[in-house]
Structure 1
């Protein structure tokens, strides 16, 4: 704004009145609830900050609980299946051992070797 306009007769008073009105305006708006104070804004910002800070801990707790629950479900579903499979494999192993003993005995008879019990396994035969 030019200097001559500010100092022109009648104009300076209007400018000064407008300045005073603007200075008082924010306080009136805050008092009437039209705008928020700095303290109010800080308080409003603090709650979301606390909530954001708590999110990683909450996420970790939920993740751990989910892992436990899935583990329990897998144990319940898979546990019976694994037990049945173990029993089947154990039965098959015992059957194969009996068949092996019978074949070793038959082989010994065919070779003319007297029955001296089952043949000893080779070094690389686990039994």
Structure 2
């Protein structure tokens, strides 16, 4: 029940901004790790600058904790593999080297195309979310306006009721004061009459 209530509570702009930044950070880190894995799969050299450029992230991020270690491990693996493949390259026919180079170029072109398409999808989803958010905010503003008008009406009724009760209280106090005055005069009259007798 508490979870349902939390889901229905409106988020503050600061919370929305913090969540957006956290999501953006997770997306960028995932993109970096994906680029590193792709470079290894394509037998491309893994460098901090190359990864930052291919993932379209800042150099700071590729040196951040949790990302740096992944890149360094990939570089060590490539170093060991390079030593082993030097012997194999000497035995490969020249045509295979050209074929591998063409495949790498194709892979690079396809990766760029995939990134471009991902960017287009991301922008489209962002626009859809922005539109949904605006409509949701409009509905929320309408609800708050209706609540405000209802509360203003209730306040006006309460103030009118208070004024009516204040008038009744004043009349009752006037009646009470008049009754006290009458009782005093009656007592004086009785006292005077009993003194004369």
Calculate the TM-score normalised by the size of structure 2.
0.38
Q: Distance in 2 between matches of 1:89 and 1:82?
A: 10
Number of residues of Structure 1 aligned to a counterpart in Structure 2:
105
1:25-46 Cα deviation digits (max 9, x unpaired): 1345578xxx234xx4785587
- 1:30 and 1:36 in contact (8 A); partners too: yes
Question: By percentage of residues, which structure has more helix?
Answer: 2
In 2: Cα distance, 1:108 partner to 1:64 partner: 65
1:6–1:41 Cα change, 3 Å = farther
CA drift at 1:67: 6.7
Q: 2:161 aligns with which of 54, 77, 81?
A: 81
| Structure 1 residue 102 displacement after superposition | 0.6
Match 1:16 to one of 90, 93, 101: 101
Take 1:111 and 1:27, find their aligned partners in 2: how far apart are those partners?
114
Question: Gaps (5+ residues) in structure 1?
Answer: 114-127
Task: State whether structure 2 residue 175 is matched by structure 1 residue 92.
Answer: no
Separation (CA, whole Å) in 2 of partners of 1:67 and 1:87: 30
Shift in alpha-carbon separation, 1:41–1:93, aligned structure 2, 3 A? same
Name structure 2 gaps, 5 residues minimum: 1-80
1:3 pairs with 58, 82, 86, which one? 86
Q: Of the two, which has the highest radius of gyration?
A: 1
Q: Distance in 2 between matches of 1:46 and 1:30?
A: 16
2:191 paired residue number: 111
Mapped to 2, the partners of 1:89 and 1:75 lie a distance apart of: 21
Root mean square deviation, CA, Å: 4.0
Give, in angstroms, the shift of residue 23 of structure 1.
Answer: 1.6
TM-score (norm 1): 0.53
Name the residue aligned to 1:124.
none
User: CA offset at residue 96 of structure 1?
Assistant: 0.2
CA offsets, 1:42-78, max 9 Å, x none? 85587568x97x8xx98xx679746742442123432
SS class of match (2:104): helix
